[in-house]
Chain A
Amino acid sequence: MKCFCSISASASLLFASSALGTVSAPPFSFSLAADGIAGGGYAADFGSVVQTAPTEWLFQGSYQGNTGTRLAWIYLVDPDPFVTGTFTVTNETSASRDYVLDFSLPISPPLAASLLSGQVSGTLTDSNGSGSALMTSTNGGFVYSALADDSFVQGLMANAFQQVTSASGTTSFSGGAFGFPEPVPGPAINSTIGIRFAFTLSAGDSVSFSSVFVANPIPAPSVLIVCGLLGLGSRKRGTDGATRTDSGLKRS
């Protein structure tokens, strides 16, 4: 965590330079707590980052702390903003563990108001062939929590209980969605969006989650008025510049 803090300033500067025209990856970060023992850092420091579109970056990496846990991820992020991807956690210890895993992305520009959507699916596997695997919500809470400015905005998979009952077996589950097909109104978002996963995983087993969190800006009223006026203007121009024929409107 010390390393995480010490590089935060330089990472923020790098991200800020993107506004000046230099293309830099955003300081997308993660933190992993296993039974309260935390670790993490900037995703780019634990793997690779590739720019895939003018405002999109693909982060791939893995992390193994000293808690007997393996974490690997592949995430596509856009500071404009969305966070989407897949991670896998494997509990390599001999006891079940409580995990809290955060992925956090600084956004740019801030959103005065937002429309939100999110979704999650996963797969639980009996990785050690013991004949069973179990993944549950920790204390009945949400497994998936969408965060805006580090505050909870939406949750999925409350009271989750997923299990595998055959040796080397697998179970896939859909964790539900919010804001599909129509996004739901959200708060103003000033600095970050993120996803928190909190779950308890049985010993020797692994779980994989694919998830999405999208925050779209709600256009300001003045922008809506301008758009409306532009639409009216173009409609008038279209009518003026067209001659009516038997088959309908035809541009002259």
Chain B
Amino acid sequence: MTPSPPTALVTKASLLAGLLVCGPALGAFDPGGFTIVIVSTAGNATPTNTVTPISNTLWSATGGWSTGGASVSWTNNTQGWNPATNSGFTNGNFVVRNESASAQDYSITIGMMGSAAGPLTVSGSVGGQFLNTSFGLGSLTSVGPLWEARADNNVVRSELNNALFVAQPFQVMSLGDFGFDNPFYEVSVTGSVSLRFSVRLSAGGEASFTSTFAFQAVPAPGAVALIALAGAFGRRRRRR
């Protein structure tokens, strides 16, 4: 898989304005291991984020962001990064709401900083619901992909391209579910992996997403040969 060039959805200025929300550093993460950046047409605000270390390689985050009637909340976004095994994952749930009087755009990026030696196998999924709490027709759209899994800001996988969902007043819609499992990612991760949601919500709209992204180093050919030899040796010994 050839990584595509990064999409410049988040500018340097917006990165600064959105403020990186960093948890306390544990050994397995680089400093500032957990980041959440939200850019919206509704305005700028500082996210509040509580990061709880579950173990040396596992973190959980809960938080929120709101301005001008727009809000984003995330719950139990768990991230794990194990540099010893060159593996990691992030998963969790986002709820995006628009209580303003007009449609609003949101770009939400949740990332974790770190590195892993490739090649890697990667897997992930996304699913969700759209809820229209207005008294008129409501819509959820995306300009380009709604969901992207990224490594070093290169898109590894995207789903729900040019999505359009239209809901009646007080209607709940399933957005479907999308996933991929173990495509080969040839290169190493040197900086971060992240998930990005890009969505436009009509007034009174609410979108809920559940998403996962995981990666795992592929054992080098030498290691595979060693494992095979060990297995064969063990079998021979058992026969004796």
Q: Which residues of A pack against B, CB within 8 Å?
A: 48, 50, 52, 58, 60, 62, 70, 72, 74, 76, 82, 84-86, 88, 90, 117, 119-127, 129, 166-174, 177, 180-181, 206, 208, 210-212, 214
Contacts and interface: CB of A to CB of B under 8 A. Distances in A.
Interface hub of A60, A172, A206, A208 (most chain B Cβ within 10 A):
A172
Pick from B89, B126, B174, B213 the residue with the most CB of A within 10 Å: B174
B176 interface: yes
B38 interface: no
B95 interface: yes
B76 A90 contact: yes
Mostly, the A contact residues are strand
Contact of A60 (B73, B91, B212): B73
A70 B75 contact: yes
B163 interface: no
A214 B133 CA distance: 11
B186 interface: no
B78 interface: yes
Given A123-B174, A123-B177, A170-B177, 18 more contacts: A85-B131, A86-B131, A88-B75, A88-B93, A119-B172, A122-B174, A126-B212, A127-B76, A127-B212, A129-B89, A129-B214, A167-B123, A167-B214, A170-B211, A172-B175, A174-B174, A208-B210, A210-B131
Interface residues of B, number: 44
A210 B206 contact: yes
Nearest to B130: A210
Nearest to B176: A172
Contacts, number: 147
Contacts of A206: 76, 93, 210
Contacts of A121: 129, 172-174
Interface string B170-194: 1111111111010000000000000
B212 A208 contact: no
Nearest to A210: B129
B91 A125 contact: yes
B212 A168 contact: yes
A177 B171 CA distance: 9
27 contacts: A52-B99, A58-B71, A58-B99, A76-B206, A82-B170, A85-B131, A88-B75, A90-B76, A119-B170, A121-B172, A123-B210, A125-B91, A126-B212, A127-B76, A129-B214, A168-B89, A169-B177, A170-B210, A171-B127, A171-B177, A172-B175, A172-B176, A174-B172, A177-B172, A180-B168, A180-B171, A208-B210
B119 interface: no
B167 to A, nearest CB: 10
A84 B214 contact: no
A139 to B, nearest CB: 25
Nearest to B182: A167
Interface in B59-80: 62, 64, 69, 71, 73, 75-76, 78
